[in-house]
Structure formats: structure tokens, C-alpha cells
């Protein structure tokens, strides 16, 4: 259907924007290629892609990511950025109400909030697909609300490392030790 929409997350933007030569990790290069290939099928079918606005926030939160966000928007030229409206905000709250109850200590509350808002925007925009290299969390959030949004991911369930998506391609400051 030519009116089908697909949301893309930060992992997809990073795989499209960061030059392959700049990615030192071979496994990450494979994930990037798989992620880009995963977008080919929907694009051929006339699917229109958009970026949920929380993706821009996620990419911009650490300062260095702002450059990635700006480059991504230039690179993707003309792609729509879908805002976090009232409906999506309510849906994100519903997702987080459930997800935070089952959060384990190693799960980042910040990452959970970004992912829930991104998934909620995809749902509220009535996207048919959510394209990501990090499917597990999106499947969880969309499943909480029984969303019809289908998560498209690379062939294997390669997961993003715990340091986050931006940290894989941009130097990130080391966390300050809480010990004296």
C-alpha cells in the first residue's frame, strides 16, 4: 500500500550516516549493513519513512550526538519528523507504567523512556513498521499495548551494546566514579 508508513530509530540513522570506515567493530558493521538492507523491501513497496521526534532528542542528548542528528536530517533530505503529540505521550505513559514495574537494575530508565516514546510515536502515527537494529525493546513496548506496528530488524537479533547506540560510533566521556 503506498500510504504505509515506517518509523526509523536512532540505530537506523546511525547506520545510514556514519561512514562504514569509521565503524571499527566488525559486528557493528554487519548490523549496519543488515539494517540498511532491511529498509529495502518496504521502500520498494512504497512505504514512506519518518523519524519520531524523540529519536532526534536521543541523538542530541550527549552533545556530540547533535552533529549526528543534523547530519542525518541532511543525509535523509526531506524525511518527515513526526512529533510527540498528546496521544503518543499518553501511549508512552501506558507502556512505561507496565515496563518500569519489570525493569531490572541494569536496564537504563533513560533508554527505556526514549524507546517508549519512539514506539508510541510510531503507534500514534499509525505506522505499519518500526525499523531498528534493536528490536527487543520495541517489540516489548508495542506488545504492551497490542500495537499492530510490526518491528523490522536485521536478519539476526543483534542487540545494541549496553553503552548505547551513540557510544558505538562517537567517543563518549567516561562516567565519573562515585567513589572518592
Q: Give me the average pLDDT of each 10-residue run along the chain (180 residues).
A: 77 71 64 65 76 88 71 74 94 94 82 93 95 88 96 56 38 43
51 alpha carbon, distance to own chain's centre: 9
What's the number of domains the chain is made of?
1
Within-domain flag for 178: no
CA distance 32 to 123: 24
Q: What secondary structure does DSSP assign to 2-50, as a single string?
A: TT-EEEE-HHHHHHHHS-GGG---HHHHHHHHHHHHHTHHHHHTTPEEE
Within-domain flag for 169: no
Position 43 scores a pLDDT of 66
Angle between helical axes of 10-17 and 53-60 (0-180°, round to 10) = 60
Position 156 scores a pLDDT of 40
Position 21 scores a pLDDT of 47
Angle at CA 38, nearest 5°, toward 162 and 127? 85
Domain coverage including residue 112: 5-157
Q: Torsion angle, CA of 113/70/78/151, rounded to 10 degrees?
A: -30
Position 61 scores a pLDDT of 79
Within-domain flag for 83: yes
Q: What is the CATH number of the domain that holds 119?
A: 3.40.50.1010
pTM for this predicted structure: 0.75
CA distance 132 to 111: 14
By CB neighbour count within 10 A (0-12 exposed, 13-18 middle, 19+ buried), where does 64 fall? middle
Within-domain flag for 113: yes
Contact 144, 94 (CB under 8 A): yes
Within-domain flag for 168: no
**What DSSP designation does 174 have?**
P
Within-domain flag for 171: no
Within-domain flag for 180: no
Within-domain flag for 165: no
Position 177 scores a pLDDT of 46
Amino acid at each position: 500500500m503506498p500510504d504505509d508508513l515506517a518509523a526509523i530509530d536512532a540505530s537506523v540513522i546511525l547506520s545510514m550516516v556514519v561512514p562504514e570506515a569509521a565503524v571499527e567493530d566488525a559486528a557493528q558493521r554487519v548490523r549496519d549493513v543488515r539494517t540498511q538492507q532491511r529498509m529495502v523491501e518496504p521502500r520498494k513497496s512504497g512505504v514512506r519513512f519518518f523519524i519520531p521526534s524523540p529519536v532526534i532528542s536521543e541523538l542530541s542528548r550527549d552533545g556530540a550526538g547533535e552533529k549526528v542528528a543534523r547530519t542525518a536530517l541532511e543525509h535523509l533530505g526531506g524525511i518527515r519528523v513526526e512529533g510527540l503529540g498528546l496521544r503518543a505521550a499518553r501511549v508512552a505513559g501506558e507502556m512505561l507504567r507496565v515496563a518500569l514495574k519489570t525493569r531490572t537494575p541494569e536496564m537504563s530508565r533513560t533508554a527505556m523512556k526514549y524507546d517508549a516514546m519512539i514506539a508510541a510515536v510510531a503507534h500514534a502515527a499509525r505506522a505499519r513498521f518500526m525499523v531498528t537494529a534493536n528490536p527487543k525493546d520495541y517489540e516489548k513496548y508495542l506488545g504492551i499495548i497490542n500495537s499492530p506496528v510490526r518491528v523490522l530488524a536485521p536478519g539476526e537479533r543483534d542487540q545494541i551494546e549496553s553503552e548505547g547506540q551513540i557510544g558505538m560510533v562517537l567517543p563518549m566521556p567516561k562516567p565519573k566514579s562515585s567513589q572518592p
